[in-house]
Amino acid sequence: MKKKPLTLLGFDYGTRRIGIALGQTLTQHARPLTTLESKNTKPDWENISKIIHEWQPQKIVVGLPLHMDGTEQDITQKARRFGNQLKGRYNLPVEFADERLTSHEAEDLIRQSDKSLTQHDKKHIDAVAAQLILQSWMSQGEQ
């Protein structure tokens, strides 16, 4: 029996910015959606709520920042807390996905299209990183 297609939101959590991507399990495709600035180191819950309301995801995937050897960083627990807050606020299942090197890969992708990174591109990196997190999670078939 085939699984029902899901709409997903992917999050690249950071204390200054949070990148958000949209994905669909039917097409196995994710795309960058937006980057939200944090407010006094707190997530922009108002705009996150608007995005959740607009896209009606069935599942959320949050990138889990890890060191290259797989051990946790200082920000790892903050990302877990953010994921747990999403789950509690919106009553949606939340999965965590390894996000090692996604920001570097996102920056490389943006540089390929334009050799110089503008301030807008730097903000866009977080949304592209969220896309890569979500795309990687979907490609592992964990829906």
Specify the pairing of strand 7-12 against strand 59-64: parallel
Q: Identify the domain containing residue 128 by its residue range.
A: 7-139
Does residue 2 sit within a domain? no
Does residue 102 sit within a domain? yes
Cβ atoms of residues 16 and 78 within 8 Å:
no
Whole-angstrom CA distances from 71 to 55, 75, 76, 81, 136 are: 33, 11, 9, 17, 19
pLDDT (tens, 9 = 90+) of the chain, 143 residues, equals: 467 889 999 999 988 999 999 999 999 999 999 999 998 889 999 999 999 999 999 999 999 987 667 777 788 999 999 999 999 999 999 999 887 655 555 455 555 555 555 555 566 788 888 998 998 899 887 55
Does residue 68 sit within a domain? yes
Cβ atoms of residues 136 and 96 within 8 Å:
no
Report the distance separating Cα 9 and Cα 33, nearest Å: 9
Does residue 123 sit within a domain? yes
Report the distance separating Cα 37 and Cα 41, nearest Å: 9
Does residue 116 sit within a domain? yes
Does residue 1 sit within a domain? no
CATH number at residue 44: 3.30.420.140
Does residue 127 sit within a domain? yes
Which residues, listed in sequence order, are joined to residue 39 by a DSSP beta bridge? Answer: 42
Q: How many domains, in total, are found in the chain? A: 1
Does residue 26 sit within a domain? yes
